[in-house]
Amino acid sequence: MNPETLSSNTVQAQTGNEQRSYCIGLVLALVLTLIAFGLVWLKVVTGTQALAVLGFLALVQVVVHLRFFLHIDLGKSHRDDLMLILFTSLILLLIVAGTIWILWDQHARMM
Amino acid sequence: MNAPHSLHPGVNLDVTDRESHAKASEVIFGFWIFLMSDLVLFAALFATYAAMSSQGIAHGPTPAEVFDLGSAFIETLLLLLSSFTFGFAILAMKYSTSRARLLGWLGLTAVLGAAFVAFELHDYYVMIETHDAWPQTSGFLSAYYLLTGTHAVHVSAGILWMIVLAVQVMTLGINTPVKLRLLRLALFWHMLDIVWVGIFTFVYLFGVAT
C-alpha cells in the first residue's frame, strides 16, 4: 500500500471519529436535558432533593460537554488543561460555597 | 482510535494541517486560561444569585412565579444545537477546502445563537410586562438579570466575533491565523453552553422546583 492512501485512510477514519464524537455529545446532552426538565415538569423532585438530583445531572452534562465538544480526556497531553479545569473548579467551589455560607450567616443574624 | 497528537482542547488540526497545528497549542492554552478566569466571573454571579434568590425576594415575585420553563427549554435546545453546529463548522474547516461549507455551518450557528438571545430578551419582556419584575424590584431579580444578562452579552459578543471571522474567511481565506481564531471562538462558544447548563439547572429548574 502506498503512503498516500494510508494517510487518506487515517484522515477519513478521524473525520468519522470526530463527527461521531459531536453526535454522541449532542444525544447525551439532549437526554440529560430532557431528564432534568422532565423531573421538574412532572414534579418528581422538589426542594433539597431537587438540588441534589439536578446538580448531579448538571455535573454529568458538564462532563459530557468537556469530553465530546471540547475533547478533554484523561490522556497525557491533556493533563495541563485538565489541571487548570480542576484548579478552576476549586476556586469556583471556594467562591460559591464561601459566599453562600457568609450570606446565609448574615441572613440568620438579621432575622 | 483517538487523535494521535492531541495537544490542546477542541479539535486538533494535526492530520490535515501540521503547520497550523504546530502553532496552535500555545495560543489555545493562553485562551484556555482566559476561559477559566471567565468562569470565575460567572461563579461570583452564581453565588450572588444563590443567596439572593432565596433571601432577596423582598416584596417582589418569587422565582417560581416569574420563570417560564418552556421558554428556558427552547433556549437550552437552541444553544446546544449551536454548539453542535459549531463543531461541524470546525470539522469543515479541518477536512474540507470549501469556504462555503465552513461559512454555512458558521452562519447556522450564528442564527441559532441569535435566536437564543431573542428568546431571552422575550423572556425579559414577558417578565416585566406581566409580573412587573424589573431588575430594581428585588435582590433576586437584580441578580437574575445580571447573571443571565452577562451570559447573553457573552453570546452576543460570540455572534459578533463569528461575523468578523466569517468576513476574514471571505477576504483572507482559510489561512493559519484565521484557523487558530476559529478554534478559539469554538472553545469560547462551547464554554458558554457549559455556563448555560448551570443557568438552566440552578436558576430555572431549581427556581421552579422549590
Helix, strand or coil for residue B19?
helix
Please report which confidence band the pLDDT of residue A14 belongs to, taking 50, 70 and 90 as the band edges. confident
- The least confident of A73-82, A90-99, B38-47, B196-205 is A73-82
CB A71 within 8 A of CB B10: yes
Residue B13: inside a domain, yes or no?
Answer: no
B100 belongs to a structural domain: yes
Total domain count, chain B: 1
Residue B90 to residue B104: CA distance in whole angstroms: 11
The mean pLDDT of A32-59, rounded to a whole number, is 93
List chain A residues with CB under 8 Å of B9: 70-72, 78, 81
Whether the per-residue pLDDT at A111 is higher than 90: the answer is no
Q: Per the CB < 8 Å rule, is A75 touching B91?
A: no
The pLDDT of B65-76, averaged and rounded, is 95
C-alpha cell at A67: 469530553
Does B46 fall in a domain?
no
- Residue B87 counted as domain residue: yes
Task: Give how far A32 is from chain B: nearest CA, Å.
Answer: 10
CB contact under 8 A, B5 and A77: yes
Q: How far is A2 from chain B (nearest CA, A)?
A: 17
Contact B46 A96 (CB under 8 A): yes
The answer to the question of residue B60 being in a domain is no
The pLDDT, as a whole number, for residue B63 is 92
Give the largest Cα separation in chain B, rounded.
61
Instruction: Give the pLDDT band of residue A2 (cuts 50, 70, 90).
Output: very low
Burial of B74 (0-12, 13-18, 19+ CB in 10 A): middle
Identify the closest residue of chain B to A47 by CA–CA distance. B210
Q: Pick from B51, B94, B205: which is nearest to A99 by CB? A: B51
Using an 8 Å CB-CB cutoff, list chain B residues near A64. Answer: none
The domain in which residue B193 lies consists of 18-37+69-209
CATH number assigned to the domain comprising residue B159:
1.20.120.80
Kindly list the domain boundaries of chain A, sorted by start residue: 1-71, 74-111
Residue A102 distance to chain B (closest CA, Å):
9
Neighbours of B85 (CB within 10 A): 22
Of B47, B190, B198, the CB nearest to A70: B190
Angstroms from B172 CA to nearest CA on chain A: 25
Give the pLDDT confidence of B84-108 residue by residue, as tens digits.
999 999 999 999 888 999 999 999 9
Who's near A79: CB < 8 A, 6+ residues apart? none
